Structure 1
Amino acid sequence: MNRKTLVLPAVLGLLAPVLAACGGSDSGGQSGDAIVVGTTDRFIASKEVPAPLDPAYAYDVGPWNVLRQVVQTLMVQPRGGGDPEPDAAESCGFTDSGNERYACKLRKGLQFANGDPVTAADVKFSIDRARSINADSGVAGLLSTVDTVETQGDNEVIFHLKTADATFPFKLSTPVAGILSSKDYEKNKLRDGFQIDGSGPYTMKADVKGDEVARITFSKNPHYKGLLTLKNDQAVLESFKDPEAMSTALDKGDIDVAARTMTPEQINKLQDNPNGKINLVEVPGLATRYLGFKTTAPIVKSKAVRQAMAQVIDRDELVSKVYGSQAQSLYSLVPASITGHSNSFFNKYGTPSVDKARNLLAKEGITTPVKLTLHYATDHYGTTTAKEFEVLKKQLNDSGLFDVDVKGATWDKYRPAELKGKYEVFGMGWFPDFPDADTFIAPVLDKDNFLNSTYVNSQIRNTLIPQSRREADRLAASKSITEIQDIVAEDVPVIPLWQGKQYVAIKDDIMGGEYAMSTSSTLQLWELSRGVSG
């Protein structure tokens, strides 16, 4: 088989075989060596983050991709996208017309990996635990609409919501809603370290070196009952320090799959220089990048400074110089292809203009050049981020209106510092929790948000977000969602920059690469199997 790029349509689910509702691990696993998947995600325990893999804390694509293999949720997002479907649940649904009462009935015979039964009480324990701990990562915000959790017998759980939330089924498919046992996890305390216990498709064993995970071995959980069909008995996730090391391992045959994150140069090389051993799979992606602001910081407290930056930044040039065809300019928090997307920043600022930016600053009496530092994570979103921030620095400085420096830090230091408000301007990426506009808006703008943002807009929080969640028809929610995006373009608590595609490089004897990663960047190890090399 010649090396080639396989491009998957955004409507992948319409072309994919339908997963059988009975699912389970009995109908899948293939014999053979473990499939080894490389990633540049790093899993580090530190004083600031002692429990990186606890479902009540983790709120990042890397840890979530580990948790999804081990911790089962009531609902799961199907391989090709679309509405979530029951996994640990046999059935789930709203039982009232106002979308405020959501009931789930568990599958019969559910067990944790150790053989203990999974009951409705475990579901209640897990949801209540995440809400009670309310970790500073902001992940509990996904459960913010929950008022109380009620159980009826061992197999039925009822969620009473504070307000209507049509997106709640999606939220029950995220790891923060993962089902845990009170025997393994304390109610009011995070579980330090890297061990995870659950009832998901795999069990896991982490190979830890110092305070960091080097590799994780996932073995098929014989007790798993759910929607997913496992196509392998064992998979290994190996963490690399950078994309170059991961690429070298793939070329040498030390790993079978290179997942996130590859550099644009590596992707171009795989596209342009086939050697017959490795395929490049392009999967529709919804990942976005933006600049965030500590809006109470003196240097950017004036809206005019943030607006002037939005007026100067040239997204098209940024994408062209750094990411090429692998990304596209983004003018809103909500990416293109998601219902409710609006080009609010383009509508307000149009094409980049130094003159318009100068007028914005002059009108508020702001002395130029405005001196500030752009902070970014050196390792978390790929090593190309450094080049991206150099381009942003040059654009802003060339305007003569700004005196910008850039400063990077590794994610284990960067993320805690951002949460503590140490950065006035910072780069951030977003991998969606689920494919809906709410997941691009609420984690940035709602109370107890992912950024621990100092920006508060009562109209967005108290009216528009709740209003959008009342609409089961997400197209009907577009009016509220568009209004939110317009307010963001006016106030500029963030500046959206681009949205990207995602790629998986895979040896030609590995099957299932087209499903290895979902549009929400979920790593689906259960889809991979070993075939015959061409």
Structure 2
Amino acid sequence: MKSWTSFLAAAAVATALSLPAFAARTDLVIGIPLEPPHLDPTAGAAAAIDEVLYANVFEGLTRIGPSGEVLPALAESWDISEDGTVYTFRLRSGVKFHDGSDFDAEDVKFSLDRARAEDSVNAQKILFEAIDSVEAVDPATVKIMLKHPQGAFLYNMGWGDAVIVAPESADTNKEKPIGTGPFRFENWAKGASIRLAKADSYWGEPAYLDKVEFRIVPDAAAAVPALLSGDVQAFPFFQPDGVAQIEGDPRFRIEVGATEGETLLSMNNKKEPFDKLQVRQAISYALDRQAIIDGASAGLGTPIGSHQSPASKAYVDLTGTYPHDVARAKELLKEAGLENGFKTSIKLPPPSYARLGGEIIASQLREIGIEAEIIPVEWAQWLDQVFTRKDYDLTIVSHTEPNDIDIYSRKDYYFNYDNPAFDKVIAELNLTSDEAKRNELLGQAQKILADDAVVGFLYELPKVGVWDAKLEGFWKDAPIQANDVTKVRWTD
């Protein structure tokens, strides 16, 4: 009996040793509120494109890290000439695109020349304006000559708009994106989800996850049940009005971080009566920022008085420039010859911060005699009517691109703002690499925008992340518009 028991025990140990160790889960479903209009980061302004593809599928010469730092990506290192006009990038070896083709210096030259070409459709074409020429020295070396020094050049090369694409697949990336990242595109079920799979040939550290699905969940009413049921395990950009229903549940982790999302009541500065400074100032005084934050963002968000993230070292608190003051707002309208107010319209894209914020702002404007008709629009309409054709009076949108105060110097930008003094500051900023001097210039730029009341500066959009407590590797902050899942994994 004793020997038989010993035999069974030994057999059990042998069986246990022969079984594979328990493997952590390797699939993930992420909820995203907006579906991208297409899947090419180099051909569209919608943040939803980068939120799926940045760092996951596509890579640039550099990349922006979770703290906003510039990190090597397809370029493993670089040298900068003493005068700051020549950048020599040494590229990583053994890199392949997801279709099996080799990555080399010619792909970099093609991508940058394409982005800055006269017929370029790149939404951030201005990022490449300083480039004079691009030379593929050899397959592993690229030399970029600038027209003048550009202090933010390495940072600019880390934007989603600057990712490297191959000439063979560039024209089809909108529907079938082919990059060099740790995940490859697998499927896009329009209106439902986008699926990625681990790229087995990835040059760098492989991702922990084998499958990632980005599922379109447009509102908190649907997001909360999806989380509670386990159908969706993470919402890196969760809508604030759903947080109260998740708080206190030990199955989930909630992290509130900072973004680069300046939320604005944009005004068409060349359209009457918004071409008058007193009118823009009156609107700014009419805005009760805290009430807007409470009603449209569940109390989450930091008030701003100009176009800079409070998380930035260059941030200047200018919220006191236009405190909520209905009486002063009415005085300014009277000075503008509009004592009896006027009628206008406000076009609102789909996000809840815009739709809810629009209702609150319309009510606040009504207090000073401005009747704002609310016009809900879908993103495609907003991009066409507002962003491209400038066919609008007022609108609400969060500008989530990083360090983008220079947009106010762009003559074709939808604000229709033109101030030579501001342009001069931005021109000097572009030539400056010293951090202290850059911060000083950024402070000057913020002050000019506040004084000119170019837009109604509302608040910095919070990044509210909610995910399964067993997940780790998500970014707390959002220095760039991305859902980087390259380091995300299940802990058990």
Which TM-score applies when normalising by structure 2?
A: 0.89
- CA positional deviation for 1:310: 0.9
| CA distance, structure 1, for counterparts of residue 131 and residue 105 of structure 2 | 16
Match of 1:42 in 2: 35
2:246 corresponding residue in structure 1: 270
User: What residue is the counterpart of 1:215 in the other structure?
Assistant: 193
Structure 2: how far apart are the matches of 1:484 and 1:490? 10
Q: Distance between the aligned counterparts of 2:145 and 2:27, measured in 1?
A: 43
Is 2:284 aligned against 1:310? yes
Which residue, 325, 330, 335 being the options, matches 2:309?
335
Q: Residue 467 of structure 1: CA displacement?
A: 1.0
| 8 A contact 1:216–1:237 mirrored in 2 | yes
Structure 1 counterpart of 2:81, from 88, 95, 109: 95
Match of 2:61 in 1: 74
Amino acid at match of 1:398: E
- Deviations 1:222-267 (Å, cap 9, x if unpaired)? 22224x65222221111123232222221111121123242x3311
How big is the shift at 1:121? 0.8
2:183 to 202, 207, 213: 202
Secondary structure at 1:232 match in 2: coil
How far apart, CA to CA, are the structure 1 residues paired with 2:126 and 2:347?
25
| RMSD between superposed Cα atoms in Å | 2.2
- What is residue 335 of structure 2 aligned with on the other side? 363
Distance 2:404 2:270 in 1: 22
By how many angstroms is 1:395 displaced?
Answer: 1.2
Alpha-carbon separation, structure 2, partners of 1:250 and 1:182? 40
Match of 1:441 in 2: 405
Match of 1:503 in 2: 464
Number of matched residues?
A: 468
- Structure 2: gaps spanning 5 or more residues: 1-22
Residue 481 of structure 1 aligns to a residue whose secondary structure is helix
Runs of 4 or more, structure 1, over 6 Å off, are none
Q: Following superposition of structure 1 onto structure 2, how do residues 159-198 of structure 1 map, counting pairs within 5 Å?
A: 159-186=144-171, 191=172, 193-198=174-179
Say if 2:417 is the partner of 1:455.
yes
Alpha-carbon separation, structure 2, partners of 1:507 and 1:223: 29
Deviations 1:163-219 (A, max 9, x none): 221111111111221111111124xxxx4742100111110122333xx4x212211
Instruction: Kindly provide the amino acid, as one letter, of the partner of residue 114 in structure 2.
Output: R
Written as runs of structure 1 = structure 2, the 5 A alignment for 1:16-35 is: 32-35=25-28
CA–CA distance in structure 2, aligned partners of residues 166 and 148 of structure 1: 18
Contact 2:26 2:209 in 1 (8 A): no
| Residue from 403, 426, 444 that aligns with 2:371 | 403
The Cα of 1:490 is off from its aligned counterpart by 2.5
Q: CA deviation at 1:149?
A: 1.3
Question: 2:63 touches 2:72 (CA, 8 Å); kept in 1?
Answer: yes
SS at match of 2:374: strand
Aligned to 1:420: 389
Shift of 1:104: 0.7
Shift of the 148–201 alpha-carbon distance from structure 1 to 2, 3 Å rule, reads same
Match of 1:231 in 2: 208
Name the SS of the counterpart of 2:241 in structure 1. Answer: helix
| Residues 278 and 108 of structure 1: CA distance in aligned 2, closer, same or farther (over 3 Å) | same
Cα distance change on mapping 1:137 and 1:370 into 2, 3 Å:
farther
> Partner amino acid for 1:173?
G
Q: Percent identity?
A: 19
Q: CA deviation at 1:407?
A: 1.8
Taking the aligned partners of 2:242 and 2:298, their CA distance within structure 1 comes to 13
Q: Aligned AA for 1:502?
A: K
Q: Is 1:490 equivalent to 2:455 in the alignment?
A: no
Q: 1:265 to 1:364 in 2, by over 3 A?
A: closer
- Cα distance change of structure 1 residues 517 and 63 upon mapping to structure 2, 3 Å threshold: farther
State whether residues 518 and 524 of structure 1, in contact with CA within 8 Å, keep that contact through their aligned partners in structure 2.
no
The question of whether the paired residues in 2 share the 8 Å contact of 1:445 and 1:455 is answered with yes
1: CA distance, partners of 2:407 / 2:394: 18
Counterparts of 2:112 and 2:126, CA distance in 1: 12
If you compute each CA radius of gyration, which structure gives the higher value, 1 or 2? 2
Shift of 1:492: 2.4
Aligned residue identity for 1:492 = A
Question: Which consecutive unaligned segments of at least 5 residues does structure 1 have?
Answer: 1-29, 45-51, 434-438
Q: 1:444 to 1:137 in 2, by over 3 A?
A: farther
Query: Counterparts of 2:31 and 2:203 in 1: how far apart (Å)?
Result: 27
* C-alpha separation in 2, matches of 1:518 and 1:372: 34
Q: Give the aligned residue type for 1:40.
A: P
Aligned partner of 2:329: which letter?
Answer: A
- Change in Cα spacing, 1:478 to 1:134, as seen in structure 2 (3 Å) is farther
